[in-house]
Structure 1
Amino acid sequence: MSLPKIDPTSTNAWKELRAHFQLLEKAHMKDLFAQDPERAEKFNLQWEDFYLDFSKNRLTEETFSLLLQLAKEVKLEQAINSYFSGEKINETENRAVLHTALRAKESDKIYVNGKNVVPEIFQVKAQIETFTNQIINGSKKGITGKTFTDVVNIGVGGSDLGPSMVVGALEFYKNHLNTHFVSNIDGDHVNSVIENLNPETTLFIVVSKTFSTQETLSNATTIKEWFLSKNLGTTEEAISKHFVAVSTNIEKAKSFGIKETNIFPIWNWVGGRFSLWSAVGLSISLSIGFENFNKLLLGANKMDTHFKSQPLDKNIPVVLALISIWYNNFFKTETQAVIPYSQYLLRFSTYLQQSCMESNGKSVDRNGNAVTYQTGSVIWGQPGTNSQHAFFQLFHQGTKLIPADFIGFVESLSGNKTHQDKLISNFIAQTEALLNGKTKEEVLKELEKKNLSSEEIKSILPYKVFKGNKPSNTIFINKLTPESLGKLIALYEHKIFVQGIIWNIFSYDQFGVELGKQLAGNILEKMKKNSIANHDASTLKLLRYYKNIT
């Protein structure tokens, strides 16, 4: 069974939402709160240790009802069943989309091409657990008999962004191992990482699904050459002690010199940008221990259960996705900010950039037709409170409407309540400020108290006014733990899925990524042969400039 292929603009709900938008476009949220004292009670969801307040949005009960109707008309519930059942919903690549299976329970049965894949998943998890324990407890050593102190993950895209984000987010739970990430093909970046490493005590993980990604193989080869130049032992033995791989291509990994027993398999039904739950997350397991890695998977599994079992109006990923559709397609907003109030989540919005924008950056629908409406949003953000001193000016007084998700944790990890109170006061205050703004009358009262002249007041007054009416969702989580982080990541994964279903696009291919790779390969070959003809004038001039300088 394939996914539904329904143009959302053809639905009754879409047409009603368009008419409804005309009535609500200029409404101020302050008025919506004044008209309905129960608004905050109506527009919130609480589930386990998560609390979502979505009352600070430009919507009413009628809006919400119409958005739910839209989800039903595009057959979202049917699509969710297909998503979890192993059907090949990645139709353009003829693949199932089952990153959710990676965090399934051992008793679950999930079939791909008639085969239950859960036993195989747990075999790999056992391999990860054994290897992790051996590295952490020191029973598995480097070639000179020393225990490992550092781990280097070599990958790019989903083989880097997910693991590096989680390792940073869960740094509080890390052990003695220092984890490094090499992703950019920039040689300066590679050298800056390896120059401070002790080759005798460093483990390298080469993460490449096909073992053919140019950036990863170039970096892995450079690092391998550096490592072998240290003459710690025979090539075969040195590589076998210090290099492992995560790949579907066993033969290519072996030809690189990695022993088959040191190759961790993944499957083609795991998309790269959703692969941190697989052996791609080996660096996570090594950094925080397998028990905590398993808690991360458990949290994601709990969110999976919530997503597939809860009715649409009580379903956190669905609600957030519907709100994003409302802004993207009716208010015509083009970006969405994600602001976590935790420095540990420094890379969270960067991770979401790939998972969201690579998934839903599509302009052809599931019927093969060009879409006539906006799809994917530009995702961006940084942790608060730093971001308040960087780009919040644009939020508050700029000309753009930027919906924002604020993510905060009730309890600090360090136990420093004084700092946490200050952090959370900012977290809550910003959403209040975005909602209410500051009126001309309020500013006037403030200025009059400063004993300014009427001319001075008149000159400064317009610059101090905040219109407010800027939408936000607030996601409160009790504490940043491996389990709660697993829930949070899975929440956004499912939100992406819902958006893609409503937009009638295929979210799980990424053909747009491939063109640049192909052209880069062509240009590199021409550079080697010193033949750079057959390009547009601009590209040709840039190539000549580079060749002349180098």
Structure 2
Amino acid sequence: MNISALSRTARAYTPVSELHAHAEQLQAQPLSDLLNSDSASAQKRASSLAFTFGTLHVDFSKQRVTPHTLKLLIDWARSCGVEPKRAALFAGEKVNTSEGRAALHMAARWPKGKMPPRGMETAALFCQQQRARLADMVSRVHEGQWFGATGQSITDVVHIGVGGSDLGPKLISEALADRPSHAKVGVHYVSTMDGAQLLPLMEHLNPATTLLVLASKSFTTADTQFNVRTALAWLSDALEVDIPTVCRYQLVGVSSKPEKMTEFGVPHVHQLVFKDWIGGRFSIWSPIGVSVAMQLGMKAFDELLAGAHAMDKHFLDAPLEENLPALMALVGAWNCQFLNIPTHAVLPYDGRLKSLSAYLQQLEMESNGKSVGLDGRSVAHATCPIIWGDVGPNAQHAFYQLLHQGVHTVSADFVAVASRDVDAPEEVSEALAAQEQLTLANCLAQSQLFALGDDAIPPALRGHMAQGYRGNHPNSLLLLKELSAWSIGALLALYEHKVFVQSVLWNLNPFDQPGVELGKQLATSLYELLAGEAAAHKNVKDPSTEQLLSKINEWRQ
């Protein structure tokens, strides 16, 4: 064989080509074959695909993978340089190449007194200093020593943000402050630019005891600016003081731009800062989480960071064969790129996690929803799947019919909580325990039915109920021992690192989001047009938009 033929052969047998060939073979085999309970090899396979980390257990056994699949996937990860790029991430190298900066959100949860990796030292120290400022603010609120413009103590916080400055804090608040007895103060989240979330708060909160938290990395986002100006106008009018006075007493700013906070009127003592090497969708661990800390207390906030930090250490130190974020990433990429499954459902079986799918939509799709690689070339395959979902028990009565008997194939993450402590009378506790067991039973049943389809019908029921359950929806089950601050911190960090590993596999920059910018610019000029500043109209004209503008102006008049 000549040299050119050898070269062609070498190119043919890449990790990616091997995975494509393996996918063709495995797709011909139903998932029910892999899960055959009568097979010793199936039992061994299931055991090898289950992993426990602290209070988090992940089961991949209903995925269309075998130990050989994982070996091929790990070979692919190594060929892409996942391990050295992981080290570069933690060392503070400029992995965000388009913006020329590091991505060091892990520094925001690095514990004081523990040596960070070389290259992260300065970042970790800065984050610890800001965490101390945050703790002081939280203490003032909890001790009744934060007074509004009229001298009354703060009782409620209105957190104004959007995207990463809203989704993360709101998710943690819903997950951990499910009962009023858990909350130190009331916290309310405002993100929609139409004012619909703000108006009800203005009707029932006491303006004299309400603190505004303006959370915005750039401190220029139109959504947050309009909301905070409306909120300040409400406080000023209700308290009969001017807006600068309201800002001095009842406004906290969280941003990477302290000069813009000062210009806006946020006193220096009420400013919390994070650096531009923490992206918005990775920022819950930074001072963006101040409202969570005010609601739940510093002990819970520190436990949240501790869970995330434990996952950081696991991701940094564990070999790929046992590394949960790497395995999650590889299985997800396998489903999307090699099995050609375009959508991924996130199905939490706990109402406290109702915002998890929305949080992961931003984390995954804004990070890896790209078609141009780091080398400037178009990516020739699917990258991030479309992420969607809902609370599982509700979803069963909405879209599961389509999934079970329609024609679409999806992959899924089921998320469940094994136990829940409730301080309630005995009869109430027993009733709640039964509900918990019913929820878990439904989670396990639906995960099984997604995978097995008609093969999940017990023999005694065959012929007595409708068939046509497609099955073959690969899914993972993520089980939390309990929904604690530590466990949800570890869970979210697991997904963060999953996103990073997939970006390496697909040669993407997961830390920028250029795709969101043009829409904002178009909206700005259209806003000016609607406001009567016709000269500011810089949009490309199209007849559809023109007739809609005409109808809006007709009805607004």
**Which deviates more from structure 2 when the two are superposed, residues 184-193 or residues 109-118?**
109-118
Per-residue CA deviations over 1:137-172 (Å, capped at 9, x if unaligned) read 212222222222211011111111111111111114
1:395 aligns with 2:395: no
C-alpha separation in 2, matches of 1:159 and 1:196: 24
The alpha-carbon deviation at position 335 of structure 1 amounts to: 0.9
C-alpha separation in 2, matches of 1:393 and 1:115: 52
Alignment-mate amino acid for residue 471 of structure 2: G
Is 1:440–1:465's contact at 8 Å kept on the other side of the alignment? no
In the other structure, the counterpart of 1:61 is 67
Kindly report which structure 2 residues correspond to 1:102-117, keeping only aligned pairs within 5 A, or say none.
102-108=108-114, 116-117=122-123
The alpha-carbon deviation at position 438 of structure 1 amounts to: 2.0
C-alpha separation in 1, matches of 2:481 and 2:455: 34
Is 1:109–1:116's contact at 8 Å kept on the other side of the alignment? no
Aligned partner of residue 511 in structure 2, secondary structure: coil
Is 2:207–2:239's contact at 8 Å kept on the other side of the alignment? no
Is 1:443–1:464's contact at 8 Å kept on the other side of the alignment? no
C-alpha separation in 1, matches of 2:121 and 2:355: 37
C-alpha separation in 1, matches of 2:380 and 2:243: 57
Is 1:143–1:232's contact at 8 Å kept on the other side of the alignment? no
TM-score (norm 1): 0.92
The alpha-carbon deviation at position 116 of structure 1 amounts to: 1.5
Alignment-mate amino acid for residue 59 of structure 1: V
In the other structure, the counterpart of 2:28 is 26
The alpha-carbon deviation at position 537 of structure 1 amounts to: 1.8
C-alpha separation in 1, matches of 2:98 and 2:456: 55
Aligned partner of residue 138 in structure 1, secondary structure: coil
In the other structure, the counterpart of 2:483 is 480
272 and 534 in structure 1: CA distance in 2 versus 1, 3 angstrom threshold: closer
In the other structure, the counterpart of 1:263 is 271
Kindly report which structure 2 residues correspond to 1:215-364, keeping only aligned pairs within 5 A, or say none.
215-233=223-241, 235-364=243-372
Is 1:129–1:290's contact at 8 Å kept on the other side of the alignment? yes
Alignment-mate amino acid for residue 522 of structure 2: L
**Which deviates more from structure 2 when the two are superposed, residues 33-42 or residues 390-399?**
33-42
In the other structure, the counterpart of 1:70 is 76
In the other structure, the counterpart of 1:3 is none
In the other structure, the counterpart of 2:375 is 367
540 and 309 in structure 1: CA distance in 2 versus 1, 3 angstrom threshold: same
Which of these residues, 489, 502, 525, is aligned with residue 499 of structure 1? Answer: 502
**Which deviates more from structure 2 when the two are superposed, residues 523-532 or residues 236-245?**
523-532
1:161 aligns with 2:164: no
Alignment-mate amino acid for residue 30 of structure 2: H
In the other structure, the counterpart of 1:454 is none
C-alpha separation in 2, matches of 1:51 and 1:445: 32
Q: Percent identity?
A: 35
Alignment-mate amino acid for residue 25 of structure 1: Q
1:467 aligns with 2:470: yes
Is 1:239–1:258's contact at 8 Å kept on the other side of the alignment? yes
534 and 269 in structure 1: CA distance in 2 versus 1, 3 angstrom threshold: closer
Aligned partner of residue 302 in structure 1, secondary structure: helix
**Which deviates more from structure 2 when the two are superposed, residues 223-232 or residues 276-285?**
223-232
Aligned partner of residue 230 in structure 1, secondary structure: helix
In the other structure, the counterpart of 1:456 is none
**Which deviates more from structure 2 when the two are superposed, residues 89-98 or residues 242-251?**
242-251
Is 1:86–1:110's contact at 8 Å kept on the other side of the alignment? no
In the other structure, the counterpart of 1:132 is 138
Alignment-mate amino acid for residue 252 of structure 2: V
The alpha-carbon deviation at position 114 of structure 1 amounts to: 8.8
In the other structure, the counterpart of 1:143 is 149
71 and 222 in structure 1: CA distance in 2 versus 1, 3 angstrom threshold: same
In the other structure, the counterpart of 2:8 is none
C-alpha separation in 1, matches of 2:196 and 2:450: 42
Which of these residues, 542, 547, 553, is aligned with residue 541 of structure 1? Answer: 547
**Which deviates more from structure 2 when the two are superposed, residues 225-234 or residues 280-289?**
225-234
C-alpha separation in 1, matches of 2:65 and 2:125: 46
Alignment-mate amino acid for residue 405 of structure 2: Q
Is 2:90–2:119's contact at 8 Å kept on the other side of the alignment? no
Unaligned runs of 5+ in 2: 1-10, 423-428
The alpha-carbon deviation at position 395 of structure 1 amounts to: 2.1
Count the aligned residue pairs: 529
Is 1:29–1:435's contact at 8 Å kept on the other side of the alignment? yes
In the other structure, the counterpart of 2:104 is 98
Is 2:154–2:210's contact at 8 Å kept on the other side of the alignment? yes
C-alpha separation in 2, matches of 1:26 and 1:286: 54
C-alpha separation in 1, matches of 2:460 and 2:47: 33
432 and 113 in structure 1: CA distance in 2 versus 1, 3 angstrom threshold: closer
Which of these residues, 436, 440, 462, is aligned with residue 420 of structure 1? Answer: 436
The alpha-carbon deviation at position 511 of structure 1 amounts to: 0.4
Per-residue CA deviations over 1:67-112 (Å, capped at 9, x if unaligned) read 1110111011011101111001000000100001100122345589
C-alpha separation in 2, matches of 1:315 and 1:41: 16
10 and 503 in structure 1: CA distance in 2 versus 1, 3 angstrom threshold: farther
56 and 547 in structure 1: CA distance in 2 versus 1, 3 angstrom threshold: same
Which of these residues, 453, 461, 464, is aligned with residue 437 of structure 1? Answer: 453
Which of these residues, 528, 534, 552, is aligned with residue 530 of structure 1? Answer: 534
C-alpha separation in 2, matches of 1:280 and 1:58: 39
Per-residue CA deviations over 1:392-443 (Å, capped at 9, x if unaligned) read 1122112111111111111113263222211111111111222222259968
Aligned partner of residue 270 in structure 1, secondary structure: coil
Is 2:419–2:481's contact at 8 Å kept on the other side of the alignment? yes
In the other structure, the counterpart of 2:426 is none
Unaligned runs of 5+ in 1: 1-8, 449-460
1:203 aligns with 2:211: yes
The alpha-carbon deviation at position 254 of structure 1 amounts to: 2.0
In the other structure, the counterpart of 1:186 is 194
Alignment-mate amino acid for residue 284 of structure 1: V
C-alpha separation in 1, matches of 2:551 and 2:533: 17
C-alpha separation in 2, matches of 1:114 and 1:290: 24
